[in-house]
Structure formats: C-alpha cells, structure tokens
C-alpha cells in the first residue's frame, strides 16, 4: 500500500480529487476554496490593528486556516513517510537547455543550483526567490486571489473575473518561462 502512495499519481486522478474539492466545499457549507486569503485571516487574528482591510470577523473564515494547516501537515507527512527514492525524471530536452545555464543538480524536488541558501545570496538567486515572491504576493493581491482560488473555484462557479485572472496568470507564466527566466538564468 505504501509503495502505491509513493508513486506519482496520474493527472486525471489528482485533477479529479482537486476538482471534487469545489463541490464538496460548496455542499458542506457554502465555502469558497482559496489559499491566499489565509494570510489576511492570520494578520487579522494575530495583529489586530485599526487597518480597515483587517477589520472583519475573521473567525467566520477560521475553517480555511485549518484547511491550510492540513496542507502543511500533509506536506510534512509526505516528506517524512512517503518519499520516493527514485531519481526525479526530467525531460532530456529540458536537461539540455538548463545545462546551458549551469543547472545540473536534480537530486531534490527543485534544482539545487537555483534553490539553496548559497544561491540566495547571488543576484540570480535573489531575483528568483525574493523578487519572485514579491511579484507573486503583489499579483495575488492585485488579482483579488491566487491561482487556486480563481482557476479552481472561480472558473468552476462561472465567475468572469476569475476567467480573466486565470488567463492573465497563464500569460504571465508563459512570458516568464519563455522570455524573462532565460534572461535571469544568464546572470
């Protein structure tokens, strides 16, 4: 049984599980799926201030904090007990392209050449980690939600702003992966 859990699941199984989250949340309590709002809930709970954005009844959304805690605990359980020791498979064309930028270590879930403490203190590492984190946070706030909230929940409930936001997320990802990232990797 454990070996079955350690293997990557096909997209149609994992996708169906994620997709069934939406009707389950709606049927079990008219709840909306999204992750980025939890930062607002945590700030409202931990740092009460006279900032209008944080003045609301965050306790009504406390269920979402438990949802995120479950994601964190699930990740810890997966990392400790469900780790697959097989080498990570990377498309040979991608390996060849990334080798041009000096990225050759695929021993972790993410390339160690990019995501490590030592690479954080380089211009390339700073741009990728700190700059990317800032842009994701800014974009999430500007779009009124994250990709999971818009793409999974918003589109499934036929929200036009979510369709527009998801198209923009995808266009931004395409732009980043194909034009901006190669420039940053050359630094």
Q: Tell me how crowded residue 31 is: count the other CB atoms within 10 A of its CB.
A: 16
Tell me the C-alpha distance between 165 and 170, whole Å.
9
Q: Which pLDDT value is given to residue 1?
A: 66
Residue 24 falls inside a structural domain = yes
Q: How many domains is the chain built from?
A: 1
Residue 154 falls inside a structural domain = no
Q: Which two tokens stand for residue 92?
A: 């040979």
Residue 139 falls inside a structural domain = no
Q: Which pLDDT value is given to residue 147?
A: 85
- Looking up tokens 């979510």, which residue turns up? 162
Alpha helices in the chain (DSSP H): 2-6, 11-29, 37-46, 62-81, 92-99, 117-120, 123-126, 132-143, 147, 155-156, 160-175, 181-185
**Can you tell me whether residue 158 is helix, strand or coil?**
coil
Q: Tell me how crowded residue 111 is: count the other CB atoms within 10 A of its CB.
A: 19
Q: Residue 5's domain spans which residues?
A: 1-86
- Looking up tokens 């695929």, which residue turns up? 106
Length of the chain: 187
pLDDT digit string (tens) for the chain, length 187 residues: 677 777 888 889 988 988 888 888 888 888 887 788 888 888 888 887 788 888 888 888 888 889 889 999 999 998 888 887 778 888 999 999 989 988 888 887 788 888 888 888 888 888 888 888 898 888 888 888 888 889 888 888 899 999 999 999 999 999 998 999 888 888 7
What does pTM read for this prediction? 0.75
Residue 149 falls inside a structural domain = no
Residue 4 falls inside a structural domain = yes
Nearest one of 135, 99, 125, 144 to 184, comparing CA atoms: 125
Residue 59 falls inside a structural domain = yes
**Can you tell me whether residue 52 is helix, strand or coil?**
helix
Residue 43 falls inside a structural domain = yes
Give Cα separations from 100 to 30, 119, 122, 186 (angstroms): 50, 17, 18, 9
Distance in angstroms between the alpha carbons of the first and the last residue of the chain = 46
Report DSSP state, residue 59. Answer: G
Residue 11 falls inside a structural domain = yes
């Amino acid at each position: 049984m454990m070996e079955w859990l350690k293997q990557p699941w096909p997209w149609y199984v994992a996708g169906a599980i994620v997709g069934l989250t939406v009707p389950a949340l709606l049927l079990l309590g008219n709840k909306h799926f999204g992750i980025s709002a939890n930062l607002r809930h945590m700030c409202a709970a931990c740092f009460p201030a006279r900032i209008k954005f944080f003045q609301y009844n965050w306790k009504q959304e406390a269920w979402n904090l438990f949802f995120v805690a479950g994601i964190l605990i699930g990740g810890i359980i997966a990392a400790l007990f469900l780790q697959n020791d097989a080498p990570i498979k990377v498309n040979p064309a991608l390996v060849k392209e990334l080798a041009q930028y000096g990225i050759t270590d695929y021993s972790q879930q993410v390339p160690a050449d990019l995501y490590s403490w030592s690479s954080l203190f380089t211009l390339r590492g700073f741009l990728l980690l700190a700059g990317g984190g800032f842009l994701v946070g800014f974009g999430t706030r500007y779009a009124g939600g994250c990709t999971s909230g818009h793409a999974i929940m918003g589109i499934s409930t036929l929200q036009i702003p979510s369709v527009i936001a998801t198209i923009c997320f995808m266009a931004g990802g395409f732009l980043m992966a194909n034009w901006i990232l190669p420039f940053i990797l050359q630094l």
